[in-house]
């Protein structure tokens, strides 16, 4: 790459100029190709015709839409086939069809078929023009390189690293199908976890409403938005936490039943295992919301069993009214439930932080496994203890009532 510092870019769109800006900052000479170079007088970059642009450099970025391949590249190849001899074409396009499948050929594969004497490389399609042009953006700066030509692929990987990107060899040009398709997905790994979370919240919300308005008749609709929502989030959070750590135990059961670790899990269990990170983050969000709502509602009016009762005597003398405000202390049940809840939230915060790639990469395998496995199990036990501390007095009282009524 040090022998020839000239890079050509076919296309003068947003991505083309962003590439030119990044290459110029990295010390490269940039030549841009346009179908109408005379109309591009508003830039200091050198803009020439597409044919001249291709001739000037052995490495050419194809920064145009796939529908313009024919009139911008393939037509010149048909008139002058030797124009692309030994040229490296870096295709940065993505799929524009909504219903593309992995069996369909990628843009890079079609370009390689149309221009067989060139070396087509798929790269830079996962980086936006904003991230390409900015040096301080927080977007992903990973470049995935795919090609059937190993030497050319290594040159592009080196070029990406000189442009201050993390580059990775992803295999043959066939991988371009996945790279192009992946950029059009919208939270593909989050869809099922979000649906599961909404279903669990709906179930617990229905149960809370039934217990509040049908069974006890002691709740007003005014408490729907915070008090009952808090009860729903509490039950949903611990249910989600159990769902996060349940599939690993089921996987162990399947391995014991099958007598081997080599046999694949059922599809539903495999997807469940792959969704644990997303489920865990959603669980943390529910638990954090529950903690904030509890801090707002923690008063003797909403949580009477958490506070010691206070007897207040008000006497009126000579038709004078005295207002007495008495403060009560939290009971042992309230303090224990609060302590276990705080410890649970603290452990879940550590789990959520270590799930961030930048933080998780700082841990070795043993440390990461300890946090996600041992600390995760401890979090589940603390959450169960939090629920038991809150519900144990009710369970004991109901058991006594049942015992008295029965015997």
Per-residue pLDDT of the chain (407 residues), as tens digits, is 434 689 999 999 899 999 999 999 999 999 999 988 888 776 788 999 999 999 999 999 999 999 999 888 999 898 888 999 999 999 999 887 665 555 678 999 999 999 999 999 999 998 888 888 876 655 568 899 999 999 999 999 999 999 989 999 999 999 999 998 887 778 888 999 999 999 999 999 999 888 877 766 667 778 788 888 999 999 999 999 999 999 998 999 998 988 888 888 899 999 999 999 999 999 999 999 999 999 999 888 788 778 877 766 666 665 665 555 555 788 888 899 999 999 999 999 999 999 988 888 888 989 999 998 899 999 999 999 999 998 887 777 776 654 444 43
Give the phi and the psi of residue 257 in degrees, each rounded to 5. Answer: -65, -45
For the record, the structure tokens of 326 come out as 């008495």
Nearest 5°: CA angle at 296, between 284 and 238? Answer: 30
Residue-level pLDDT at 330:
85
Which residue shows structure tokens 């997303």? Answer: 278
For residue 122, the SS3 value is: strand
Strands 29-34 and 46-49: parallel
Helices (H), 150-258: 150-162, 176-182, 191-210, 229-258
Answer for the pair 92, 63: CB distance below 8 angstroms, yes or no: yes
Residue 22's pLDDT is what? Answer: 92
pLDDT confidence of residue 3: 44
Q: Which pLDDT score, from 0 to 100, does residue 407 have?
A: 39
What confidence score (pLDDT) does residue 332 get? 86
- The per-residue pLDDT for 405 is 47
Domains of the chain: 6-182 (3.40.50.720), 191-308+330-406 (no CATH)
Least Cα distance to 178 among 186, 170, 166 occurs for: 170
Alpha helices (H) in 214-311, listed in sequence order: 229-258, 267-274, 276-297
- DSSP annotation of 136: S
């Amino acid at each position: 790459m040090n022998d020839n510092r000239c890079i050509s870019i076919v296309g003068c769109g947003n991505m083309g100029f962003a590439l030119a800006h990044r290459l110029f900052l990295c010390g490269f000479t940039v030549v841009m190709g346009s179908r109408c170079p005379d109309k591009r007088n508003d830039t200091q970059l050198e803009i020439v015709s597409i044919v001249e642009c291709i001739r000037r450099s052995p490495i050419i970025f194809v920064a145009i839409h796939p529908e313009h391949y024919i009139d911008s590249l393939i037509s010149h190849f048909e008139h002058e086939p030797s124009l692309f001899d030994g040229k490296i074409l870096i295709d940065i396009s993505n799929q524009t069809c909504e219903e593309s499948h992995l069996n369909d050929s990628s843009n890079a594969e079609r370009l390689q078929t149309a221009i067989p004497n060139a070396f087509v490389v798929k790269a830079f399609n996962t980086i936006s023009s904003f991230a390409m042009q900015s040096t301080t953006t927080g977007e992903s700066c990973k470049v995935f390189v795919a090609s059937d030509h190993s030497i050319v692929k290594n040159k592009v990987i080196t070029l990406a690293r000189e442009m201050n990107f993390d580059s990775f060899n992803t295999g043959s040009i066939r991988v371009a199908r996945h790279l192009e398709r992946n950029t059009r997905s919208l939270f593909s790994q989050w869809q099922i976890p979000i649906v599961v979370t909404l279903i669990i919240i709906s179930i617990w919300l229905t149960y809370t409403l039934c217990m509040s308005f049908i069974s006890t008749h002691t709740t007003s609709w005014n408490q729907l938005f915070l008090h009952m929502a808090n009860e729903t989030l509490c039950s949903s959070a611990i249910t989600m936490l159990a769902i996060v750590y349940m599939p690993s135990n089921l996987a162990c059961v399947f391995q014991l039943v099958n007598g081997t670790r080599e046999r694949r899990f059922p599809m539903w269990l495999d997807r469940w295992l792959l969704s644990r990170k997303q489920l865990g983050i959603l669980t943390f969000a529910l638990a954090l919301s529950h903690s904030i709502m509890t801090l707002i509602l923690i008063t003797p009016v909403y949580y009477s069993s958490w506070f010691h009762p206070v007897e207040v005597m008000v006497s009126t003398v000579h038709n004078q009214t005295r207002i007495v405000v008495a403060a009560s202390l939290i009971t042992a049940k309230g303090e224990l439930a609060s302590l276990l809840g705080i410890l649970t939230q603290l452990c879940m915060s550590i789990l959520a932080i270590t799930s961030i790639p930048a933080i998780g990469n700082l841990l070795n395998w043993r440390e990461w496994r300890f946090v996600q496995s041992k600390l995760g199990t401890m979090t589940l036990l603390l959450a169960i203890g939090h629920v038991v501390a809150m519900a144990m007095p009710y369970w004991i009282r109901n058991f006594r009532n049942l015992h008295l009524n029965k015997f």
